[in-house]
Structure 1
Amino acid sequence: MPRYLLRRFVGMIVVIFLVLTIAFVIVRLAPGDPAALMLGPDATPQDVTELRERLGLDRPIFVQYVAFVAGAVQGNLGESLFFNAPVTAVLAARAEPTIFLALFSLLFALVIATPIGIYAAYRRGSTLDQTSITSAMLAASVPSFLTGLIFQRYLATELGWFPVSGYGGPDAGFFERMRHLVLPSIVLGIVNSALILRFTRASMLDILGEDYVRTARAKGMTERRVVLRHALKNAGIPIITVVGLTFALLVSGAVVTERVFNLPGLGNLVVNAVLRRDYPVIQGTLIVVAALYVLVNLATDLLYLAVDKRVKV
Structure 2
Amino acid sequence: MTRYVLQRLFGMLTVMFTVVTIVFVIVRVAPGDPAAVMLGPDATPADIDVLRVRLGLDQSLPVQYLYFLAQLARGDLGHSIFLDMPVAAALLDRAEPTFFLTVFAILIASAIALPVGIMSAYKRGSFFDQSVTTLTMLAASIPSFWLGLILIQVFAVRFGWFPVAGYGGPDASFLTRMSHLVLPAVALGVVSSALITRFTRASMLDVLNDDYVRTARSKGMGEFRVIMKHAFKNALIPVLTVVGLTAALLVSGAVVTETVFSLPGVGNLVVSAVLRRDYPVIQGALLVIAAIYVLINFGIDLLYLMIDPRVRY
Q: TM-score range by the shorter chain?
A: over 0.9
* 1:214 alignment partner AA: R
Question: What aligned pairs does 1:159-238 form with structure 2 within 5 A after superposition?
Answer: 159-238=159-238
Root-mean-square deviation (CA, aligned residues, Å) is 0.9
How far apart, CA to CA, are the structure 2 residues paired with 1:217 and 1:197? Answer: 25
Which residue number corresponds to residue 89 of structure 2? 89
Partner of residue 74, structure 1: 74
User: In the alignment, what sits opposite 1:257?
Assistant: 257
User: Equivalents in 2 of 1:163, 1:22: separation in Å?
Assistant: 40
> Aligned equivalents of 2:281 and 2:121: distance in 1?
45
Rounded to whole Å, the distance in 2 between the matches of 1:222 and 1:3 is 39
In the alignment of these two chains, the number of paired residues is 313
| Aligned mates of 1:141, 1:280 — CA distance in 2 | 34
Cα distance between partner residues in 1 of 2:114 and 2:162: 26
For 2:99, the equivalent position in structure 1 comes to 99
Q: What one-letter code is carried by the residue in structure 2 that aligns with 1:229?
A: K
SS of aligned partner of 1:310: helix
Amino acid at match of 2:6: L
One-letter code of the match for 1:46? Answer: A
Rounded Cα–Cα distance in structure 2 between residues aligned with 1:109 and 1:175: 21
* 2:262 corresponds to 1:285: no
Shift of 1:266: 0.7
Q: Which string of whole-angstrom CA distances, capped at 9 and with x for unpartnered residues, describes residues 181-209 of structure 1?
A: 01100000000000000000000111101
Q: Which runs of 5+ in 2 are unaligned?
A: none
2:157 and 2:43 map into 1 onto residues whose CA distance is 44
Query: Quick check: 2:140–2:192 contact (8 Å CA) kept in 1?
Result: yes
Alpha carbons 2:118, 2:201 under 8 Å: kept: yes
Distance in structure 2 (CA, Å) of the matches to 1:311 and 1:128: 35
In the alignment, is the contact (CA less than 8 A) between 2:118 and 2:200 conserved in 1? yes
Query: Runs of 4+ in structure 1 displaced over 3 angstroms?
Result: none
| 1:158 CA drift (Å) | 0.5
Show the 5 A alignment for 1:236-251.
236-251=236-251
- The reply to whether residue 42 of structure 1 matches residue 37 of structure 2 is no
Identity over aligned pairs, percent: 64
CA distance in 2, matches of 1:310, 1:201: 23
State the distance in 1 between where 2:20 and 2:219 align. Answer: 57
Alignment of 1:308 with 2:308, yes or no, is yes
Per the alignment, residue 131 of structure 2 pairs with 131
TM-score norm. by structure 1 comes to 0.98
Rounded to whole Å, the distance in 2 between the matches of 1:120 and 1:59 is 61
| Residue 38 (structure 1) shift | 0.7
Unaligned runs of 5+ in 1: none
Preserved contact between residue 204 and residue 231 of structure 2 (Cα < 8 Å): yes
User: What is the match of residue 110 of structure 1?
Assistant: 110
**Alignment-mate amino acid for residue 186 of structure 1:** V
